[in-house]
Every structure is written in structure tokens, then in C-alpha cells.
Amino acid sequence: MKLALVHDYLYVYGGAERTLEQAHRIWPGAPIYTLLYVRDRLPAAFQGMDVRPTWVDRLPARLRLQRVYAMLQPLAFGRLRVRGADTVLSLASFGAKAVPPPPGGRHICYCYTPPRFLWGPYSGIERQGLPRPVRLVTGALERALRRWDFAAAQRVDRFITQSSYVAARIRRVYGRETCVVPPPVEVERFAKVRPRDEGYFLIVARFEAYKRIDLAIQACAGLGVPLRIVGAGVDEGRLRRAAAGAPNVRFLGPLPDEAVVEQIAGCRALLFPGEEDFGLTALEAQAAGKGVIAYAEGGALDTVLPGITGEFFHQPTADALAGAIDAFRPQRYDPQAARANAARYAPPLFRQRLRAAVERAATAATR
């Protein structure tokens, strides 16, 4: 099997990019096609990879306009032709799954999720305050992009995805079945951590509306318990306004991996208040021996074991989260049980599972 990898874009380093990095370790000779490639924002390991960005990478002001240029994915990927391979493996939410397979070949998609900005939930697009003409234009554009995204999904030969939650979304949105291969968690980063309770609760996340960091701010402000928030993103202004007047809420900004490990090691519990597709940070906290308080929807249902590695709250409200925080007692949870649960998602296991799933999918697609 001569395989080529396709990824939506490479200008941040998060869970999707860590998954791509592990996939490349399975097929180290595979080229990586992507919309944009901002080299200095990716770890050194990417420098030795054969990364092939599209023409969008040559457009002016690509660093400042990267979110705008991301909307060019239908045009860029729909016309992309992969050479020297018989199998395309896209790791995609939006555009990469539209790359045509090579002649006589097949396209297998590891789908992170159907794009939230088109299909929800919590698209993050607030239209109520926009002028009516703008609402009409954006609504028409969204409908056109939905049709395009659905059609692109129908051209994929086989789907793989990261959680049972996303598998259900793919079935509902695209009408396609898929197998589940959970993404890798770098548990070794936390192997030597000494868990301790310094009294604060912790959020580690990109600042986007669907992650519901606002619920954590409201809950902790109301209880008067310390909350530390690690991350950055488009929702930062709104979140800082929500935390105004709450001295127990601290924004630490984006931190390097080593500093994040230390913040997790010292927290009382990690808060995971959003409806996430998978939820990498919930497992990272468990890898450090820490408990998790999570909203009982989405990927957390696969990764948090209530009463063993954490607890759920069942309504997406600050009051429900505050009740779970107030009742949480870290001494009830065995750090070794949390570590053992996280170990099930270690990178070597991911690589074994993904290789097997791709080989099965390739065989099925050629029948």
C-alpha cells in the first residue's frame, strides 16, 4: 500500500496535529498534503517530514488571515491530485476529505468530526447582532458549504473516527458508518508526575464557545474556589469579561507542555465542561493521576469513568457544575486507576489500531 496523508491545515499544534504526527510514524515515507503549513508553529519533528502545502500557502498575509484562508479548503482540496500513491488517508474535519483518490485507488478518512461551524453543536457563529443583509449572505454560504461537505463525505470510501460520539454524528450528518480508533494520548509526559492537591481547579483548552469555559468561570466565581485557565483563542475577550470581579479566577495564557504538566499535577481536579468530540485533556489529567469533572455528553462518556477517575454533571449549567465541584473529594479517587485508564490510549496502541483499521478499510474498499 502506497499511502499519502492529507491534513486540513498545519498552523497550530493541538490534538489533531499530535494524531497526524503518530500516523506519520506508522507510514514515515508518506508525504503530507495540507492547505497551509506554518513551520515555526510546529515541533521539530515536522521539519523532517515531506509536507506539501497547497497554493493557498503562497497567498499574502497568510499568518494574519489564516482563518479566512481556511475557507478556501473546498477549492484547494477539491482540485488537489495526489501522485505516487494508491491510498489517500485524510485526517480531516472539513476540507481534506474532499481530496480525490488516485486513479484506481481509494480514500480512507480519519474524521475528527463533521465541522461544527456547519453542523453544530455550538458552531460559535453568532448571527443575532449582524445586519440582516449579512445574515442572509452568511446563511446562504453556510447552506452551500453544507451541501459541499456532505457531497465530499459521500466520495470517501471508508471512515474511521475518534469516539463513539463522533461516530454517531457521522451517521446522523453524513449517513455513513465508521469504526472507532481513539486518538493517542502522550501518557509518558505524565509518568513521573507526583500528583498533589494545591486547592485550585483547572481548565486547559482553546478559548472557543463550545468548550463552555464560561460555565467553569461562573461556577468557581460563585463558590469562591480558585480556578486557573490555561489557553488562548478567539473567545478570550468574552471570557475575561465574564471573570471580571472574580479574583479567584486566573488566566495563565498558553503555556509550554512542561508547564501544563505541572499545572495538571497540582490541581484538585480538571474541569471539562464542554460537549467535546473526544477530550484529550481529560485523559492527560488522568495520566497524571488526577480526577476529572466532566459534562456528561460527548467524548467524555468514553474516557471518564464515574466514581473511579472522576464525576459527571448532567446539565450544561453553572449551577450543575458548581454542585459537582462542591461535592468533589479528591481522596476518593485512586491515582493509579486514573493512570491505568489513560494508558489504554498510549501512542503505540493507537498506531497498532490505526494501522489495522486502515488495512481493513483498504481491503474492503477494493472489493
pLDDT given at position 142: 86
Structural domains of the chain sorted by starting position, each given as residue range(s) with its CATH number in brackets: 3-184+347-365 (3.40.50.2000), 187-343 (3.40.50.2000)
* Contact predicate 38/58, CB 8 Å: no
- pLDDT at position 352, please? 97
Q: What is the pLDDT of residue 49?
A: 95
Model confidence at 366: pLDDT above 70: no
34 pLDDT above the threshold of 90: yes
Question: How confident is the model over 157-214, as pLDDT tens digits?
Answer: 999 999 999 999 999 999 999 999 999 999 999 988 889 999 999 999 989 889 999 9
**pLDDT value of residue 141:** 84
Per-residue pLDDT, 58: 93
pLDDT band at 127 (very low <50, low <70, confident <90, very high): low
> What does the pLDDT read at residue 68?
86
Determine the pLDDT at residue 336.
95
Q: In terms of C-beta density within 10 A (0-12 exposed, 13-18 middle, 19 or more buried), how is residue 86 classed?
A: middle
- Which among 28, 30, 4 is positioned nearest to 107, based on CA atoms? 4
Confidence of residue 226 (pLDDT cuts 50, 70, 90): very high
Looking at the chain, the whole-number percentage of residues with pLDDT higher than 90 is 78
CA distance 303 to 9: 27
Q: Which three cell numbers stand for residue 181?
A: 480508533
pLDDT band of 122, cuts 50, 70, 90: low
User: Of the candidates 243, 211, 219, 248, which has an alpha carbon nearest to the alpha carbon of residue 322?
Assistant: 219
Which of 62-71, 73-82, 141-150, 176-185 is predicted with the least confidence, judged by mean pLDDT?
Answer: 62-71
Average confidence (pLDDT) over 54-68: 89
Place of cell 497550530: 12
Confidence (pLDDT) at 64: 86
Which runs of consecutive H residues, i.e. helices, occur in the chain? Answer: 15-26, 66-69, 73-78, 116-119, 132-154, 164-174, 213-223, 236-243, 257-266, 280-287, 300-303, 318-327, 335-343, 347-365
Mean pLDDT of 225-231: 97
Q: How far is 202 from 218, CA to CA, in rounded Å?
A: 14
What pLDDT score does 23 carry?
A: 97
> How much is the pLDDT for 19?
95
Q: Is the pLDDT of residue 94 over 60?
A: yes
Whether residue 365 is predicted with pLDDT greater than 80 in this model: the reply is no
Mean pLDDT rounded to a whole number for the chain: 92
Rg (CA), the chain: 21
Contact status, residue 95 vs residue 8, Cβ threshold 8 Å: yes
Instruction: Supply the pLDDT for residue 66.
Output: 83
Amino acid at 6: V
CA atoms of 10 and 8, how far apart (whole Å): 7
pTM: 0.89
DSSP class of 304: -
Give the model's confidence band at 135: pLDDT under 50 very low, under 70 low, under 90 confident, else very high: low
Q: What is the pLDDT of residue 222?
A: 95
**Given pLDDT bands bounded at 50, 70 and 90, which one contains residue 363?**
confident
CA atoms of 142 and 118, how far apart (whole Å):
6
For residue 252, what pLDDT is reported?
A: 96
DSSP one-letter code for 365: H
More confident residue, 364 or 259: 259
